[in-house]
Amino acid sequence: MNIGIVGKNPNEWGSAQLIASLKRFGLPCTYLSFPKLFARVGYKPVLSVDGIDLIKDLAALIVRPIGRGSLEEIIFRMDRLHALVRRGIPVINSPSAIEHCVDKYYALTLLEENGLPVPRTVVTESAKEALKGFQELGNDIVLKPLFGSRGVGSVRITDVESALRIFNSIQYYHGILYLQEFVPHGNFDIRAFVIGDDVSAAMRRIGSSWKTNVSQGAQPLTIHLDKQMQNLAIEAAKIVGCEIAGVDIIETNSKPLIVEINSQPGWRGLQSVTQTNIADHIVEHVLSKVKR
């Protein structure tokens, strides 16, 4: 039973943890990098890496960060994951779950359609329309890259002049304007790490500014989530189709709000404050998906 891990770098912390965990479980593991994942059409093997026929040899595939690339590269990475799914290989997370989450608008819309609480958000291609959204959202917004992560590129904007200047330059470069009402949160939020039907571990992230990403210097603090909050995170992950998810939740006086779901989450910060071995949990979940 060969478990694959696909990503851009086998030394990436999460991949290394999974490789070590699979070793502890006594399971053979193959690390596949996307450039080596070879596709054939009209003859076999349809997908291989270094002569390994993935359809024959893989019991399951764990997806780690798919990395940056051109539109063609990213679509082709997703194409090969979809091809594996169509041929019956459990891919975790599935390419459709990844597609739902990488696009913050797509994920938020799915959550809202299913009745989950999210911040008020405006998304448009037009700087002029975005300015209307800025005013609708109370002249205090967070502008985020549609496909961003780790807090990189997000800015808080509170004056019209800066808003228009920034919106115009994003429109000029054909970017999408994703504006969200600024939700006051006292510089901390919750990251719930969902695996299957459980929250494996959770942390409060305490930032020195409104960005509470650990990669932006926020400090992780272990917390136990009450059942209601756990269910919220689990339901959110289910709605976008994630079996493994990092769910970011801002607490407000009235209710918690989900700001995003990470479909290829890291857990280094979280692992540093929890006794639970998260990599082992992931591997156990993946094994439960393997067709015997």
Ligand X SMILES: Nc1ncnc2c1ncn2[C@@H]1O[C@H](COP(=O)(O)OP(=O)(O)O)[C@@H](O)[C@H]1O
- Residues binding ligand X (CB under 6 A): 119, 142, 144, 148-151, 154, 180-183, 185, 189, 210-213, 248, 259-260
| Residue 245 to residue 90: CA distance in whole angstroms | 16
Closest distance of CB 212 from Mg ion, Å: 8
By beta carbon distance, the residue nearest ligand X is 212
**3-state DSSP assignment of residue 264:** coil
Among 120, 108, 122, CA closest to 236: 108
Compare residues 90 and 220 and give the one whose CB is closer to ligand X.
220
21 is in the binding site of which of ligand X, Mg ion, none (Cβ under 5 to 8 A by kind)?
Answer: none
Among 35, 31, 34, CA closest to 16: 31
Compare residues 213 and 271 and give the one whose CB is closer to ligand X.
213
Q: Which chain residues interact with Mg ion by CB under 5 A?
A: 248, 260
By beta carbon distance, the residue nearest Mg ion is 248
Compare residues 91 and 141 and give the one whose CB is closer to ligand X.
141
CA 19 vs CA 16, 35, 45: distances in Å: 5, 20, 25
93 is in the binding site of which of ligand X, Mg ion, none (Cβ under 5 to 8 A by kind)?
Answer: none
Closest distance of CB 284 from ligand X, Å: 27
Closest distance of CB 142 from ligand X, Å: 4
Compare residues 243 and 260 and give the one whose CB is closer to Mg ion.
260
Asked if 144 and 180 touch (Cβ cutoff 8 Å), the reply is yes
Sign of the alpha-carbon dihedral angle for 78, 84, 86, 89: negative
Closest distance of CB 90 from ligand X, Å: 26
**3-state DSSP assignment of residue 149:** coil
Closest distance of CB 61 from ligand X, Å: 24
| Residue 139 to residue 39: CA distance in whole angstroms | 49
User: Which position has the token pair 């590269």?
Assistant: 73
Compare residues 60 and 225 and give the one whose CB is closer to ligand X.
225
